[in-house]
Amino acid sequence: MPNEEPPPGWTHNEMMELELVEISLGHTRNNTTHMHGPEEGHLKEGPDTGERYEYYHVLWIERVGVIAYRKGLGRIAKDHWEAQEREWMDLIRA
């Protein structure tokens, strides 16, 4: 949430470069009052108005040599994700 304190050792001004991998496209009703509405609907940067909220499920990975370790997962609004420079990669899940 925007008003939460940063983790110990971090400041709000620090930028962190993440490597994210697109997993799948998803969507839900864009209704913040409905129990199945998007969790991020209450955020200022949350979904735009409209009937559907579309997003990509993504993995946050960290590479160590040729191995990519999963650090986390989440979702990113479709329009924000598609505005980024992207490239194809092959990952083998083990």
**Diameter over CA atoms, the chain:** 45
Predicted local distance difference test score (pLDDT) of residue 23: 93
pLDDT of residue 1: 41
Six-digit token string for 11: 């400041």
The whole-number pLDDT of residue 22 equals 93
DSSP 8-state secondary structure symbol assigned to residue 41: G
Phi-psi region of 80 (alpha: psi -120 to 50; beta: other; left: phi over 0): alpha
Can you give the pLDDT at residue 43? 55
Tell how many helices (H) and how many strands (E) occur in the chain. Answer: 1, 3
Structure-token pair, residue 18: 């993440």
Q: Please list the ranges in the chain whose pLDDT falls under 70.
A: 1-16, 31-50
pLDDT of residue 41: 57
